[in-house]
A and B are shown apart, each in its own frame.
Chain A
Amino acid sequence: MSQLTPLIDHFNYFTTIFLMVAGLYIVIARGNMIKKLVGLGLFQTSVYLLYLTPGKIVEGTAPIIDPRFQVYSNPLPHVLILTAIVVGVATLALGLALVVRISEEYGTIEEDEIFARGEDE
């Protein structure tokens, strides 16, 4: 069991790295524009986890000052990530809107099909 302890201790970080790499791989490897955006979303979401994980302090409570508690969790990462989530939502929405317009203009959302037409102006 002792070999597994670092894995369990850092479970969140391993998940983060897995999601990060998986998301980036999808963006690079897939030609379908919606799937690319899914990968991009995954990639961005992994960063939320990267921020939130160290914000949790063992035994810490919600950061509201009260004489009964001594240890509080760090609220700042949550606030930052709330902002990052809004940014992520806006990016995804804009990306999807662009894909809708591309689909209207080209009739496809596969990158290789669009580039195969090789239009130059």
Chain B
Amino acid sequence: MIRLSEHLPIIQVLVPLFGAILTAFARRGTTAWAIAATASVLAPFVSAAMLWTVFETGRPISYVMGSWAAPWGIEYRVDLLNGFVLLLVSVIGVATISYARKSVAAEIDAHKQAWFYTMYLLCLTGLLGIAVTGDAFNAFVFLEVSSLATYVLIGLGRHRRALLAAYQYLIMGTIGATFYIIGVGLLYVVTGTLNFADLADRLGPAMDTQARPILAALAFMTVGICLKLALFPLHAWLPNAYAYAPSFATAFLAGTATKVAVYLLMRIFFSVFAIAIPASALPVTEVIVILSVAAMFIASFSAIFEENAKRMLAYSSVAQIGYITLGIGLANQLGLSASLIHVFNHALMKTALFFALGAIVYRTGLVNISQLSGIGRRMPLTIAAFVVAGLGIIGVPGTAGFISKWYLAMAAIDKGWWWMVFLIVASSLLAVVYVGKFIEVAYFREPGPDVAEAHEPPISMLLPLLALAFATVYFGIDTRLTTSVAEAAASALLGGAR
């Protein structure tokens, strides 16, 4: 008799993977949706059980694949950091899959729906896989599984520009993944191991004699992962990809894909390199701080001048990723906590915003802000949820976004960079402009002829939207889950640094 609880790490990945195989055989979209929904609903239970175990015992879960012990075989390792990320990804998965049925039925041709859900499940498999694995090469394979599925999800958008967006993302994404794998290759040549923990142990001694390939590996991996997480100025693929992908795919990817890449960056920086080599060896964190600040301002300005609402939110995502990487660049306890908290909060808020836009597209087919005048009177609940999540993006006290920015400001002060606090506040004011632009059009203008027929979306789309909007407020007031887990995970990440 196999005890299931021992095999949770692999179950986490296998459930969506087998779900994908089943949906590939399904003919009708509804059948495929039911399978995808079952697999998605199981996932958060698995990740919550693992996170709880890690939190209670204080020790990471190590799962040995095929009974080959750690440095030789592939190890799945769940600690607080990736347990948190797993829970986030799977919760967003549940929210989006309940939203998906009506949205996908409206936007995807009937004969493609089953394949669409297959791609969604493969993407989920890949993202969960990156988070759960403790092996650098295995992470690459999962990265490509999720990326390839993502290209298809984007390419199935209605507008023909979706194909171009998918193609451009394919080129950029493959270059990013290849840069990552070049870095892994260099590390393997130097140390002879691919296991993250083992790499951390062996890099230190190797640093004395072979510093150059190790630093080259760090540079390659940083650039590669930053391409995937769309750090400015490597974000060029993201606005079009988000703007032309089907609404469901945009909401899912905005909440998960970049977040998992952020996790991988943290893992590489703090669990592998920070242990082995002195921070002064290569000015990576300094470069990341500069690029993050650039992202916060330049992407926010792009969002202000953007007419297409989906693309406006996509630029906003690039800016918000700037806050997340800023926390990584600060590289102190509070900064890492801020990053993790914002990964969580931003995923909730941005998914809610894209849900609201998806609902508008479902009812009206419009995405240009100027055409949406008065939409707030036709779809009051949807737009109210949009406003709540938008306030979260700005960082208004009482919303989740405030908590992350508060931590980020504290981290900057802790580092002695008081001027950084002004930059954080100033860039948040830019968010006021672009969120405010939407609110002005939605509430303070007479409903135009384009939105005359619009009304609230079906309950299956409205409920996940309202739930996420509620979560935005809830995690702005009751911060026990996010801050305690994030602070403990940040301590564990930095605890390794000697």
Contacts and interface: CB of A to CB of B under 8 A. Distances in A.
A90 B182 CA distance: 19
B155 A101 contact: yes
Interface in B160-202: 160-161, 163-164, 166-167, 170-171, 174-175, 178, 181-182, 185, 188-189
Interface stretch (B12-20, B144-152, B271-279): B144-152
B132 to A, nearest CB: 18
Given A43-B178, A99-B167, A119-B161, A94 B185 contact: no
Contacts of A40: 171, 174-175
A80 interface: yes
Q: Would you call the interface of chain A mostly helix, strand, loop, or mixed?
A: helix
Contacts of A101: 155, 163
B161 A47 contact: no
Contacts of A44: 174, 178
B148 A90 contact: yes
Given A40-B171, A105-B160, A121-B308, 5 more contacts: A50-B185, A94-B151, A99-B167, A102-B164, A121-B368
A96 B164 CA distance: 12
B137 A91 contact: no
14 contacts: A24-B175, A40-B174, A44-B174, A83-B137, A87-B141, A90-B148, A91-B144, A94-B152, A98-B155, A98-B166, A101-B155, A102-B167, A105-B163, A121-B159
A22 interface: no
Nearest to A27: B171
Nearest to A95: B170
A87 B174 CA distance: 10
B170 A91 contact: yes
Nearest 3 A/B pairs, CB to CB: A105-B160, A87-B144, A98-B167
Contacts of B161: 119
Nearest to B190: A54
A51 interface: yes
A119 B148 CA distance: 27
Interface magnitude class on chain A = 20 to 34
Interface in B36-87: none
A91 B148 contact: yes
A106 B160 contact: yes
B181 A54 contact: no
A98 B154 CA distance: 11
Interface in A15-73: 20, 24, 27, 33, 36, 40, 43-44, 47, 50-51, 54
Contacts, number: 66
Nearest to B152: A94
Interface magnitude class on chain B = 20 to 34
Given A50-B185, A90-B148, A102-B164, A80 B175 contact: no
Nearest to B189: A54
A114 interface: yes
B167 A95 contact: yes
Nearest to B308: A121
Interface in B288-308: 308
Contacts of A87: 140-141, 144
A87 B146 CA distance: 11
Interface string A105-121: 11000000010000101
A102 B181 contact: no
A37 B189 CA distance: 28
A50 to B, nearest CB: 5
A92 B374 CA distance: 46
A40 B368 CA distance: 35
Interface in B90-142: 137, 140-141
A20 B202 CA distance: 28
Contacts of A121: 159, 308, 368
B141 A83 contact: yes
A67 to B, nearest CB: 23
A80 B193 CA distance: 12
A68 B403 CA distance: 66
Contacts of B164: 102, 114
Given A27-B175, A40-B175, A47 B182 contact: yes
B178 A47 contact: yes
A57 B432 CA distance: 61
B151 A98 contact: yes
A43 B148 contact: no
A91 B174 contact: yes
Nearest to B137: A80
Nearest to A100: B163
A100 B155 CA distance: 12
A47 B181 contact: yes
A81 to B, nearest CB: 9
A95 B166 CA distance: 9
B170 A94 contact: yes
Most chain-B Cβ atoms within 10 A of its Cβ — which of A77, A91, A114? A91
A102 B182 CA distance: 30
A27 B141 CA distance: 22
Contacts of A50: 182, 185
B435 to A, nearest CB: 22
B117 to A, nearest CB: 18
Nearest to A43: B178
A24 B170 CA distance: 14
Contacts of B137: 80, 83
B368 to A, nearest CB: 7
A53 to B, nearest CB: 9
Contacts of A102: 160, 163-164, 167
A27 B178 CA distance: 13
